[in-house]
């Protein structure tokens, strides 16, 4: 995929013409980032906007005790980073390459120039910031105050919204439509990191959810499947 076509998939740039996208290409260099590399951190002094061209990026915070709490997973088309007084995530956030990634970057002076030239882009940028901060705040609230079961149900719901796809369980047609498969592979330890828990507790909770017909997984390396209607009923029961 050429860069201008990729840029058109970024939410911020979706309404720009091909000619406008081609003008952005030179100011958005691409870099290949290896899995596990820290892309951005609170200690990093650069003011950059990052665009995910391929792969997946994990955003996380550190507790006072040094424990990692995953706040979000970003895939192709998402943006993150800090530009001046604006941040596309939350303060004191780390960004790690969850997989091998290709990332485009735009620095602060170039981005500010782009916003001056295209005021409608600046308004859309603010909308994206507001939505992202609302999502992060909601996630942090649930992770801080909910029970382990409630946190896991909430996390599965958010993952289903972002990474879910239709999946057939080999039952009748009406039942098939009720299941979705997560297009992201997460270990129990990774799920635990995302909900501020420990692996053993997550394994126990997933076993219970599987017995209730809320989740299904055929093997350790297979994607997790979720039944959204049953998940919602379980979530409502936790409130």
Q: What does the pLDDT read at residue 45?
A: 54
Q: What is the pLDDT of residue 168?
A: 47
What DSSP line would sit under 104-141, residue for residue? EEEEHHHHHHHHHH-HHHHHHHHHHHHHHHHHHHHHHH
**Kind and range of the H or E run holding 58:** strand 57-62
Residue 217 has, within 13 A of its CA and on its CB side, a CA count of 19
Q: How far is CA 101 from CA 19, 38, 53, 90, in A?
A: 26, 12, 7, 21
pLDDT for 21-71, tens place per residue? Answer: 888 888 889 899 999 999 988 877 568 889 898 899 998 888 777 777 788
pTM > 0.85? no
Is there a contact between 121 and 106 (Cβ–Cβ < 8 Å)?
no
How many whole angstroms separate alpha carbon 7 and alpha carbon 19? 12
167 burial level (CB within 10 Å; 0-12, 13-18, 19+)? middle
Give the model's pLDDT for residue 96: 93
Q: Which domains does the chain have, with CATH numbers?
A: 3-143 (2.60.120.10), 146-238 (1.10.10.10)
Who's near 223: CB < 8 A, 6+ residues apart? 181, 182, 183, 184, 185, 217
Helix (H) or strand (E) holding 216: strand 215-216
- Consecutive H or E run containing 59: strand 57-62
| Two structure tokens written together for 21 | 């996208």
Residues of the chain scoring pLDDT < 50: 85, 168-174
């Amino acid at each position: 995929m050429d860069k201008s076509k990729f840029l058109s998939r970024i939410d911020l740039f979706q309404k720009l013409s091909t000619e406008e996208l081609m003008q952005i290409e030179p100011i958005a260099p691409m870099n290949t980032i290896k899995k596990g590399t820290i892309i951005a951190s609170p200690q990093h002094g650069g003011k950059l906007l990052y665009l995910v061209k391929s792969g997946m990026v994990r955003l996380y915070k550190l507790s006072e005790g040094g424990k990692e709490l995953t706040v979000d997973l970003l895939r192709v088309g998402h943006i993150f980073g800090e530009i001046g007084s604006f941040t596309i995530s939350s303060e004191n956030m780390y960004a790690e390459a969850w997989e091998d990634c290709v990332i485009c970057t735009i620095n602060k002076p170039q981005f500010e120039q782009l916003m001056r030239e295209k005021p409608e882009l600046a308004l859309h940028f603010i909308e994206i910031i507001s939505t992202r901060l609302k999502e992060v705040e909601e996630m942090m609230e649930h992770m801080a105050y909910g029970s382990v079961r409630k946190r896991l149900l909430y996390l599965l719901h958010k993952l289903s919204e972002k990474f879910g796809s239709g999946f057939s369980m080999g039952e009748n047609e009406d039942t098939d439509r009720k299941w979705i498969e997560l297009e992201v592979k997460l270990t129990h330890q990774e799920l635990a990191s995302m909900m501020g828990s420990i692996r053993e507790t997550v394994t126990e909770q997933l076993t219970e959810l599987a017995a209730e017909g809320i989740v299904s997984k055929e093997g350790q390396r297979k994607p997790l499947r979720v039944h959204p209607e049953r998940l919602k009923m379980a979530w409502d029961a936790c409130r």
